[in-house]
């Protein structure tokens, strides 16, 4: 989502800033031309490092992460070991699941996500560790009870076995509530020039046609902790409003949008509406008044189309269609009917440093 006219008006009370560290591990079976193991690490939703079963060597994706590896060879060595060890561990897990679910062939995906969120003002920490299989939740760790939650009947066997492994569950508790926070602080210290920066976006009002919703579009902001909404007469609107997701840009910044349906709004009432963008850590909000003069659109009135080129284009398309139909007719006669073509489908410790209990 992207940019336009901004009015910096009222102050917004600063909210606590939450930082996150997430590790994603993906093991696949039956996927051609793709690594059967991939692992990535993200700090505040920014890709920090990557490894897979083909290269077997972790790759830093940020300059500060490369410097961390240079300054701390033990951390780099740990990352290398995890890249090698985890692929064998999760390969065994997916084989166990396939056998447990009586799956002998086909494409199957086994995933794990773990990490934590840390509030730099209150110190509150929320840890998480969960597994998924074939796109659905399979089992997750409950920090309150130090037991596992099985949302699917197929995971009950695994739950009971993992619940009995108290040592491993205590380790998860330590990592997710304490050590993960230490890692977050370390990564933020090395990457503070980029991870702790604040960049306000450009904000635009966009509309496809005069009858379409008006989209308030913000792009180029950082960090991703932001919210945007429409309000009328100073009050936030909840009806006739559709919020989009926060999406990444290629340069590491983010974009988002929120649409307002104007079908029941009279032109005289437009001045009562405004779009508000709030970025966590920023002193001021960006307020954009609803004004037809500043709306960007690619829509062109039919009366503005040149008649000659349009008519010529239509005639050309009709001639091309006639040729195509004739060609198909001739082909069908020569081949004695249509036959469909064949097709084929073609630093420190982390939960992964302690081998998870067998799935079965």
Same domain, 176 and 205: no
The CATH number assigned to the domain holding 23 equals: 3.30.500.10
Same domain, 202 and 273: yes
Q: What is the pLDDT of residue 280?
A: 85
The answer to the question of residue 113 being in a domain is: yes
For 65, the domain range is 18-194
- What are residue 260's DSSP bridge partners? 214, 241
Domain finish residue from 194, 212, 241:
194
State the CB neighbour count (10 A cutoff) for residue 53. 20
Domain finish residue from 273, 296, 319:
296
* pLDDT classification of 131: cutoffs 50, 70, 90: very high
Is residue 163 over pLDDT 80?
yes
Cis peptide leading into 223, omega within 30 of 0? yes
Choice among 8-17, 126-135, 183-192 with the minimum mean pLDDT? 8-17
Same domain, 256 and 111: no
Same domain, 286 and 176: no
**CA distances to 109, 158, 168, 357, 359 from 154, in Å:** 15, 8, 22, 16, 11
The answer to the question of residue 65 being in a domain is: yes
Question: 308-357, pLDDT tens digit by residue?
Answer: 444 445 445 444 444 443 343 333 333 433 233 343 444 434 434 444 54
Choice among 76-85, 202-211, 281-290, 333-342 with the minimum mean pLDDT? 333-342
* pLDDT classification of 360: cutoffs 50, 70, 90: low
The answer to the question of residue 9 being in a domain is: no
Distance of alpha carbon 229 from alpha carbon 236, whole angstroms = 7
**CA distances to 43, 192, 210, 266 from 263, in Å:** 42, 46, 10, 8
pTM over 0.75? The answer is no
The answer to the question of residue 267 being in a domain is: yes
Same domain, 63 and 96: yes
* Angular region, 231: left φ>0, alpha ψ -120 to 50, beta rest: beta
Same domain, 229 and 188: no
Domain finish residue from 296, 312, 329:
296
Same domain, 264 and 121: no
Tell me, letter by letter, the H, E, C secondary structure of the chain.
CCCCCCEEEEECCCCCCEEEEEEEEEEEECCCCCCCEEEEEEECCEEEEEEECCCCCCEECCHHHHHHHHHCHHHHHHHHHHHHHHHHHHHHHHHHHHHHCCCCCCCEEEEEEEEEEEECCCCCEEEEEEEEECCEEEEEEECCCCEEECCCHHHHHHHHHHHCCHHHHHHHHHHHHHHHHHHHHHHHHHCHHHHCCCECCEEEEECCCCCCCEEEEEEEEECCCEEEEEEECCEECCCCEEECCCEECCCCCEEEEEEECCCCCCHHHHHHEEEEEEECCCCEEEEEECCHHHEECCCCCHHHCCHHHHHHHHHHHHHHHHHHHHHHHHHHHHHCCCCCCCCCCCCCCCHHHCCCCCCC
Distance of alpha carbon 215 from alpha carbon 201, whole angstroms = 15
The answer to the question of residue 350 being in a domain is: no
Instruction: Report the number of distinct structural domains present in the chain.
Output: 2
Same domain, 183 and 132: yes
Is residue 31 over pLDDT 70?
yes
Same domain, 172 and 204: no
The answer to the question of residue 305 being in a domain is: no
Same domain, 32 and 167: yes
The CATH number assigned to the domain holding 214 equals: 2.60.40.10
Is residue 69 over pLDDT 50?
yes
Same domain, 257 and 162: no
Same domain, 67 and 146: yes
Choice among 63-72, 106-115, 302-311 with the minimum mean pLDDT? 302-311
**What's the mean pLDDT when you consider all of the chain?**
82
Question: 187-216, pLDDT tens digit by residue?
Answer: 999 999 999 999 999 999 999 998 999 999
The answer to the question of residue 124 being in a domain is: yes
Is residue 145 over pLDDT 90?
yes
The answer to the question of residue 304 being in a domain is: no
């Amino acid at each position: 989502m992207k940019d336009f006219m901004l009015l910096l008006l009222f102050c917004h009370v600063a909210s606590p800033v939450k930082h996150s560290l997430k590790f994603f591990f993906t093991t696949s079976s039956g996927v051609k031309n793709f690594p059967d193991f991939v692992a990535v690490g993200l700090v505040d939703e920014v890709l920090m490092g990557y490894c897979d079963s083909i290269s077997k060597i972790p790759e830093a994706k940020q300059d500060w992460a490369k410097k961390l590896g240079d300054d701390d060879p033990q951390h780099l060595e740990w990352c290398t070991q995890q890249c090698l060890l985890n692929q064998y561990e999760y390969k065994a897990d997916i084989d166990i699941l396939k056998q447990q679910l009586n799956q002998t062939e086909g494409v199957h995906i086994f995933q794990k996500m773990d990490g934590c969120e840390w509030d730099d003002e209150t110190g509150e920490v929320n840890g998480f560790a969960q597994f998924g299989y074939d796109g659905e939740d399979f089992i997750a760790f409950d920090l309150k009870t130090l037991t596992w939650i099985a949302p699917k009947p197929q995971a009950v066997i695994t739950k009971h076995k993992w619940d009995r492994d108290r040592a491993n569950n205590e380790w998860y508790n330590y990592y997710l509530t304490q050590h993960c926070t230490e890692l977050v602080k370390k990564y933020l210290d090395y990457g503070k020039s980029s991870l702790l920066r604040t960049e306000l976006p450009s904000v635009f009002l966009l509309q496809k046609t005069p009858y379409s919703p008006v989209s308030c579009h913000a792009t180029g902001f950082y960090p991703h902790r932001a919210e945007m909404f429409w309000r009328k007469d100073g009050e936030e609107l909840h009806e006739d409003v559709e919020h989009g997701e926060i999406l990444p840009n290629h340069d590491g910044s983010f974009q988002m949008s929120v649409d307002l349906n104007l079908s029941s709004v009279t032109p005289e009432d437009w001045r009562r509406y405004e779009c508000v963008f709030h970025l966590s850590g920023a002193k001021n909000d960006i307020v954009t008044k609803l004004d037809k003069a500043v709306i960007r659109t690619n829509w062109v009135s039919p009366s503005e189309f040149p008649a000659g080129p349009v008519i010529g284009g239509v005639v050309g398309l009709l001639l091309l269609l006639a040729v195509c139909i004739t060609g198909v007719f001739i082909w069908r006669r020569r081949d004695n009917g249509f036959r469909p073509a064949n097709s084929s489908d073609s630093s420190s410790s982390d939960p992964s440093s302690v081998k998870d209990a067998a799935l079965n």
